[in-house]
Amino acid sequence: MKSLDLKSQKINQLKYLVISHLSLFFCHQINLKEQIKAVTTTQ
């Protein structure tokens, strides 16, 4: 039972890491698009 708890804890940590990395990546992509839009409209 104890090892199972540890396993699920690790899986949850991995899920959290993946989700946070993905959200960071998507935010970065959106920011890049906005910046590109801003640059192209000001020129």
Q: Where are the domains of the chain?
A: 1-43
Q: Which pair of tokens denotes residue 22?
A: 């993905």
Q: How many residues are given for the chain?
A: 43
Report pTM: 0.58
Tens of pLDDT, residue by residue, the chain (43 residues): 678 899 999 999 999 999 999 999 999 999 999 998 988 887 6
Cα angle value 24/40/26 (rounded, 5°): 10
